[in-house]
Structure 1
Amino acid sequence: MKKLIIDVAGMHCKSCELLLERSIQDIKNVEKVQASQSRGTVEVSYDANKPDEEAITSIIEESGYTLGKEVKLSWFHSNPRKYIETLLIALFLYIIYMVAKMSGFSFGGFGDFTSPTLGVAFLIGVTAGVSSCMALVGGLILGVSSKWNEEHIQASKWHRFEPHLYFNIGRIVGFGILGGLLGLFGSFISLSSFTIGVLTIATGLIMLLLGINLSDLSPRLSRISITLPKFLSAGVANNGGVSKHITALGSGALTFFLPCGFTLAMQAYAITTGSFITGALTMMAFALGTAPGLLGVGGLTSFLSGTFAKRFFKFTGVLVLLLAIFNISNGYTLMNLGGSSQIVPSTGVVSSEVQEIRMTESDGGYAPNVFHIKPNMKTRWIINATNPYSCASQLTAPSIGITKQLEQGENIIEFISPASGIIKFSCSMGMYTGKMIVDSIESDTQTSLTPTQATIVSDIPTETSYSCH
C-alpha cells in the first residue's frame, strides 16, 4: 500500500484529526487516513490508483487548516501588553473578591438545611451552584465552554449554547447512575484525603491549561488540548447529533468525582440510603439544583461575538487561572494533611482526665481553628455544626484517622492525643483548615496570645472507648 504524506498546520486537538480523517476518507481511491496533530501531517494510504491530491488539499483548506509545516511557537509573547492586561484583570478580580468578603458574602455556601430530602437536595444544589464549588465545576465548564465558543465564533447562539446543555444533561444523568451505585455499594467508593488531593491538583492543572489557552499567555502552551483519547472519540464522532457533544456529556458525568464539599455531603447521604433508587434520585436532585448556576455562567459565552467576545475570553481565562491556582493549593493541603504533621504516637500511659475542645462549623469555615492540647490524654472534640451541608461540613483529620460528615448541632469526636506533633484538619476541599498543637507537659505555661487551650473537664473510667459520634 502506497502513502501520500501532506504537511498540515493548525491542528490543535484530537477532534481536528478526526475531522480531517472523516472528510478525506470519502475521496475516491483513499483506503486509510491518519492525521497527526503532534507531527503536523496527514498520511493518506491508497492502492494502485492515486487519489486526487488537489481534492485532498482543498478539503484541508476548507476545514480551516493551512498547508505546510507548523511554525514553531515561542513560550512567551514578545508584546508585554498581554501580560499587563492579565495582571490588571487579576487585580480587578481580587478587588471584587475583597469587597465581597468585607461585605459579609460567604463563599462557602449558605442556608440552614436539616434533612436531605429530595427537595432539600435540590436546594443544596442551587446553593452549590453559586458557592465556592464553582471553583471546581464552574471553573471547568467556564474554561471548556469559552474555548468551544472561541473556536465556533460564527455559529448561531443556540449552537454555541449546546455544549452547556449537554454538559448539564450528562451531569444530571451521571450523578443519578453513580449516586445509585453509592446507595448499593456504600463505603467501597470512599476516597482518602490524599486521593482527593491528587484529584483536586489534577483538576487544577487541567484548568491551568484552559486558563493559559483562553488568556493567550503562552503561544506554545495554548496548543496543548485536553480531550478524550482518540480511540474513545472515534467510535462516536460524526457530523451531527448528540454524539458530537459526547465529551461534554462525559465531562458532566465525571464531575461526580470532583471534591466539592456539597457533593460529598450528598454522596455521604446517598451511601446511608442503602438503595439504588433513593441514592440516584438524591444525587439527580442535587445535580439538577446546580444546573441554573452552571448554565448561567457557561451560557454567557454563547451570546458573545466580535471584539467583546475576545475580551470576555481573556477575562474568563484569567479567572480560570486564578481558580486553578486555588485548587492546586487546596489539593496540596489535602495531600499533606496526614503526612506532614510529624505525629509521635501516644506512649501508652493515658491520663484518666479528659480534655475538651469546642469548635463551631459554619459556611465560613471553623472557629476557632487552632488549639493547644495536652499529650497522652483522652480528648473530646465538640463541634457545633450550624450549616451541615456547607463546604466545611465534611471534616477530615487523617493523622488521627478521622473523617466525619458533620450533622446539625453538636458532633462529638473522641480520641487519644499523641505524645507530640501537630494534628492538622481540613474540609474535604482543603479550603478551610485548622490544627491542634500537642504541647509537652513542660510547656503548660502559655502566653495570653496563644490559640485556644483545651479544658480539663472530668475524670472518667479508663475503659471508655473513643470514636466519632
Structure 2
Amino acid sequence: MTGFLVGKLVSHALLGALLGTVGSVVQLSAGVRTWLQLLAGGLIMVFGLAQLGVPGFRNITVEPPLSWMRFVRNRSRSRATFAPTVLGVATVLLPCGVTLSVEALALASGSALVGVAIMAMFVLGTSPLFVVLGYAARKAAAAWRGRLSVLTGIVVLATGLYTFNGGLELAGSPLAASHIAHTVAGESPGDESVVSVVEGKQTVRITARTGYYSPENVQVSGGLPTTLVVHSEDARGCVRAFLVPEYNVEKILPVEGETRIDLGVLQSGTIAYSCGMGMYTGTITVA
C-alpha cells in the first residue's frame, strides 16, 4: 500500500506542476469551471445508475483499452518490488469528478509550485480513506459478494450528486443544496460584527479556514464603496480558490495572510461567493 500511495503522490504532484504551468498562460474562467463540474457530476451519476442496474442505464459502460486493462491487472498481481508504485503512478490516468475539480483548481492557480501543493494535499488527504475502503472492500468481497456492487453504485451516485451540486453552487442556481436549505429554514440574520465603516468607506472581513468560510452570511449597507478582506487562517485545499462570480473575482488565497478585494459601491441584493468547487459557500446581504 505504501508503494502505491508514493507512486500516486508523485504522479499527481507532477500533474499539478504541469497544470499550474499551463494555468499561468491560460486561466479557467468561472463559467468554464462551472460547466466542467456539472459535466463531471452528470457523468459520474450516469455511471452510478449503470452500476446499480437502473433500466436505461445498465448497458452504459466505459472501459479503458484492453492494453491498459492488462497492464493494471499484471501490476496488481505482480510480486515485483516496484509493481504497487507503478500502479500508483498509473492512477493519474483514471477519471474522477472530484479529481477533475482539484485539477481545475491546480490549473486556476497559475503557479507550478501551488499546483504541486494542491495535488499533493489532495492525495495525502484522501489516502486514509482509500486505505479504509480497500480493507472494507476485501472483507466485503468475501462476505457480501453481490451487495458490494450495489454499495459501489450508491457511493458513485452520491459522489456524482455531490460534484454536480458543486457546479450548481458555482452557477448560483436556486436548485443548489445551500439555496434549498436557506429557502426551507429561512434566511438567518446576517453578521454585522465583521463590518466596519470609516470615513464613508466600508470594510467586510471574512475568514477562510480549511473546510469553511465564516461568517456564513454577512449583513452590509448599500451605497458605500466596499472592500472585502479575506483573512486566511491555515487555509488549505479547495477553500483557497475564492470566487465571487457576480464580480468576476477569482483569487487564490494564501495559506496565511490577507487578500483584499475591491467590490465598488454595493447595490441592494445578495452577493454569493464560494470555493473553486462550489463546496464551501457564503453570502453578503446588502441592505
Equivalent position to 2:47, from 180, 187, 210: 210
2:285 is paired with a residue whose SS is strand
Q: What is the identity, as a one-letter code, of the residue corresponding to 2:231?
A: N
After TM superposition, list the pairs within 5 Å mapping 1:101-116 onto structure 2: none
Counterpart residue number, 1:424: 272
Shift of 1:243: 11
The alpha-carbon distance between structure 1 residues 184 and 209, as it changes in their structure 2 partners (threshold 3 A), is closer
2:25 is paired with a residue whose SS is helix
TM-score w.r.t. the length of structure 1 is 0.44
Counterpart residue number, 2:33: 196
Give per-residue Cα distances to partners, 1:246-288, cap 9 Å, x unaligned.
Answer: 9x64544777962249x837973x8164xxxx965x5674465
The alpha-carbon distance between structure 1 residues 380 and 267, as it changes in their structure 2 partners (threshold 3 A), is closer
1:396 aligns with 2:243: yes
Unaligned runs of 5+ residues in structure 2 are 78-86, 174-197
1:224 aligns with 2:71: no
1:271 aligns with 2:119: no
1:300 aligns with 2:136: yes
CA contact (8 A) 1:174 1:253 kept: no
1:175 aligns with 2:12: yes
Shift of 1:171: 4.4
Counterpart residue number, 2:214: 367
The alpha-carbon distance between structure 1 residues 390 and 172, as it changes in their structure 2 partners (threshold 3 A), is closer
Shift of 1:333: 1.4
Shift of 1:294: 2.4
1:332 aligns with 2:168: yes
Counterpart residue number, 1:433: 281
Shift of 1:227: 3.2
2:230 is paired with a residue whose SS is strand
After TM superposition, list the pairs within 5 Å mapping 1:309-348 onto structure 2: 309-336=145-172
CA contact (8 A) 2:16 2:112 kept: no
- For CA contacts below 8 A with separation 6 or more, give which structure has more relative contact order: 2
Quick one: distance in 2 between partners of 1:402 and 1:287? 24
1:422 is paired with a residue whose SS is strand
The alpha-carbon distance between structure 1 residues 250 and 223, as it changes in their structure 2 partners (threshold 3 A), is farther
Q: What is the identity, as a one-letter code, of the residue corresponding to 2:285?
A: I
Shift of 1:379: 0.9
Counterpart residue number, 1:378: 225
2:32 is paired with a residue whose SS is helix
Shift of 1:313: 2.9
Quick one: distance in 1 between partners of 2:69 and 2:158? 33
Quick one: distance in 1 between partners of 2:249 and 2:6? 35
The alpha-carbon distance between structure 1 residues 236 and 325, as it changes in their structure 2 partners (threshold 3 A), is closer
1:358 aligns with 2:205: yes
Shift of 1:435: 2.0
Unaligned runs of 5+ residues in structure 1 are 1-160, 338-350, 440-469
CA contact (8 A) 1:175 1:256 kept: no
Quick one: distance in 2 between partners of 1:415 and 1:431? 23
Give per-residue Cα distances to partners, 1:378-399, cap 9 Å, x unaligned.
Answer: 2122233223114423211021
Quick one: distance in 1 between partners of 2:221 and 2:211? 28
Q: Percent identity?
A: 24
Quick one: distance in 2 between partners of 1:322 and 1:234? 29
Quick one: distance in 1 between partners of 2:25 and 2:153? 37
The alpha-carbon distance between structure 1 residues 387 and 398, as it changes in their structure 2 partners (threshold 3 A), is same
CA contact (8 A) 2:38 2:164 kept: yes
1:305 is paired with a residue whose SS is helix
